[in-house]
Structure 1
Amino acid sequence: MNVQALLGNFALILFILMVVSGVIWFYDRFSLAPKRKAAAEVALAAFDERNARLKAQGIQVDESGRQTLKEKLLKKPTWVEYSGSFFPVIAAVFIIRSFLWEPFRIPSSSMVPTLQIGDMILVSKYSYGIRLPVINKKIVDLGDPQKGDVVVFKFPKDTSLDYIKRVVGVGGDRVEYRNKKLIINGVESAYQPLGDYLDTESLTYSREFVEGLAGTDVRHHILNDNRAPTYVRHPDRFPNRHMCTYNVEGFACTVPEGYYFMMGDNRDNSLDSRYWGFVPDEYIVGKAFFVWMNLGDMTRIGGIR
C-alpha cells in the first residue's frame, strides 16, 4: 500500500491509533501503575517513619507534604497520560464507525436530486452483514444490497476512494439503458415527468422525473440532460467488459454473480458502472440511509429514498 492510499484509508489509520494507544493503556494499567504504587508505598512509609521519629524527639513536623509527595509518585508520565487516555475514545469511535454507522460527506452532484453537494450522510455498516474492519471481509451475512438501495462502496479503480451510487442491477440481472430509459430484465422502468430542475451549482436546467425502478417498488427522483448524448462516451476496458455491449442508443450489461451495477441519479452527470464497470460484493461499505446535516441547507436533514 502506497503512502497516498494509506493516508486515504481512515479506517486503517484509526485502527493503528487504537492499537498503539491500547498497548500503552494496558502496559500502564498492568505494569507501570503497579510499579508506581509499590514505589509510592515504600516512599510514603519512609516519610511516615521519619515524621514519627521526629515527633518522638519532640520536633514539630509538617504533614502537608505527604499528599503532594503521594500525587507526585503516582502521577503518570506525560507520554502515558496523553497516549493512553485517548484509547477509550478512539476504541469507541472505531467500533461505532466499523460496525454500526459511518459518516460521509457528498462531494459531487452525481446523485442529485436525491443527494446534494455538502450533504452529510450516515451509512449503516451492518445492513448487509458484519465485516472485519480495514480488510472489509464479511464474517456475518445479514443480506445483500437490493435494487434501489443507495450504497457507499470502494471505487473499483482506486479502492482508497469511496463512491456513492444507486444499485440498479444485481448478479444475474440484464441491465439496459436505451434512449435514457432504464430497462431491467426486459421490463422498462416507469417515468413521471416533473418539469425542469435548476442545478444551483452550474446554473443549468435538467429534466426531472420520478423513476419507478423496474421490478421493484422503489420510486425516486432522477435528472436527464436533453443536451447530453444517449450513448456512453469512452467506457473503460473494465473486468467482465465482455458482458456489456454499447451502441448509439445506450448499452446493455449482464451483471456477473457477486457483483452490482451502480448508477447515479443525475444520469447525464455521473461516472458510474456504465463507464468503469461492476462493483464486487467485497467492495461494499454500507447502505446510506440518513442526511444528518447540510450546513448550507438545514431542510436537507432526513431519510434517503
Structure 2
Amino acid sequence: MAGYFSIFLVLLTLGSGLIWLVDHLVYAPKRKERIALAEGAAGKELDEELKQEIAPEPVLTEHAKSIFPMIAIITVFRSFIFEPFQIPSGSMMPTLLVGDFILVQKYSYGVKDPVWRSELIETGKPERGDIAVFKFPPDPKLDFIKRVIGLPGDAIVYRNKQLYIKPNCAEGERTQGALQCGEYNKIALEIINKDEFSLRGQSLVRLQESLGEVEHDILINPTLPEFKSKYYRQQGSKIDEWIVPEGHYFMMGDNRDNSQDGRAWGFVPEANLVGKAVFIWMSFEFEHEPDSALPSWVPTGVRFERLGNIQ
C-alpha cells in the first residue's frame, strides 16, 4: 500500500507541475495579452474582478498551481528523507508496540527513486542491530519491520530460543565489533522481568539481548515450542541454521515467538530495503473494555513516555 501511495504522490506532483508549466508558458501570456488589449481600449488599469471576467484562469490550473509546491515538498520529504509508518502488530514488542507511529530514515540505506526503487546514491548499509523497514520478499507490496540480525556472509543459528552468530570477517580480522571471528558467538541474554507482557494468558519473559555492540530487549514465551516445521530450509544447512547470501540480510522480530521473519521466509535482498526506523513521533493505546461502545480503531489514550528515539 505504501508503494502505491508513493507512486500516487509522484504522479500528482508531475501532473500538477506539468499543468502549471504549460499554463505559465502558453496560456498565461495569452491571458495577459487579452487583459492588455482591454486596458488599452478602456484607457485605464482594470480591477482584478474585471480581469478575471475577461481572461479567467481555468479552475484546474488554479488548483494545480495551489497544490504543486506543497505536494512537491511532501513528495521529496517522504521519498528521500523521512517516511511515516504505523506499527500494526506486536512482532517487534517490547521495542515497538501496536499504535506506535514511527519515522523511517529513507536515506540510511541509499537514496532510491520512489517508483522503480533503483538506487541513485549509495549512502550506507544496514548494521547489525538496526531496526529496518523493507519490502516483504514474498509480497513486495507489503512493508515489514524487523531487526537486522545477520549481515551478508554471516552464519546464523537459532536453537532452543538462543541466538548464535558467526560473523563474516575479513581475512586477518579477529573481532567484528564485540563478536569473535571464526566461531559461533552465543548472544548474551539477561532477564529483565517475567510479568510485564502476556499473550493469550501466558506470561512472556523480557530479556536484554546483547547483539554485538547493540543492546535491546526481546520477548520469549518459554512455554511455546519453536516452530521449526515452518522454518525456511536453506540447501546445505541444518533446519535452524542459515548462511546469509551476498547482498542479503537476515531479519528477526524482537517478539521471538510471535514474529513471521527470516526464520520462516529467508533473506531480505538489499534492493528491498526501505530505510531505518529512528523515531517514535506518536503512540496511541487501544485498551478497550469488552463492553466499550467505542470502535476498536479509536484510541483510548496517548503514551507520551514512548515518544523519542528508537533504541
2:275 paired with 1:286? yes
- The residue correspondences of 1:198-209 to structure 2 (distance < 5 A) are 198-199=196-197, 202=200, 204-209=202-207
- 2:230 is aligned to 234
One-letter amino acid of the counterpart of residue 72, structure 2: A
TM (normalized to structure 1)? 0.85
Q: 1:298 Cα deviation (Å)?
A: 1.7
Q: 1:32 Cα deviation (Å)?
A: 1.4
**Equivalent residue for 2:146, pick from 158, 165, 180:** 165
Q: Which has the larger radius of gyration?
A: 1
**Equivalent residue for 1:85, pick from 66, 87, 92:** 66
2:297 paired with 1:299? no
Matches of 1:146 and 1:95 in 2, distance apart? 25
**Equivalent residue for 1:184, pick from 165, 169, 174:** 165
Q: State the identity %.
A: 43
TM (normalized to structure 2)? 0.84
* 8 A contact 2:197–2:205 mirrored in 1: no
Long gaps (5+) in structure 1: 50-62
- 2:217 is aligned to 221
Matches of 1:222 and 1:29 in 2, distance apart? 57
Matches of 1:86 and 1:41 in 2, distance apart? 28
Q: 1:287 Cα deviation (Å)?
A: 0.4
- 1:112 is aligned to 93
- 2:247 is aligned to 258
Q: 1:226 Cα deviation (Å)?
A: 1.1
- 2:208 is aligned to 210
* 1:115/1:47 CA distance change after superposition, 3 Å: same
- Number of positions where the alignment pairs a residue of Structure 1 with one of Structure 2: 277
Matches of 1:197 and 1:99 in 2, distance apart? 41
Q: 1:231 Cα deviation (Å)?
A: 4.2
Q: 1:83 Cα deviation (Å)?
A: 2.6
2:229 paired with 1:245? no
* 1:144/1:67 CA distance change after superposition, 3 Å: closer
**Deviation larger for 31-40 or 106-115:** 31-40
Matches of 2:199 and 2:53 in 1, distance apart? 60
Q: Which has the higher helix share?
A: 1
**Deviation larger for 67-76 or 251-260:** 67-76
Q: 1:103 Cα deviation (Å)?
A: 0.6
What RMSD, in angstroms, separates the aligned Cα atoms of the two structures? 2.0
One-letter amino acid of the counterpart of residue 269, structure 1: N
One-letter amino acid of the counterpart of residue 276, structure 2: K
Q: 1:126 Cα deviation (Å)?
A: 1.0
* 1:290/1:197 CA distance change after superposition, 3 Å: farther
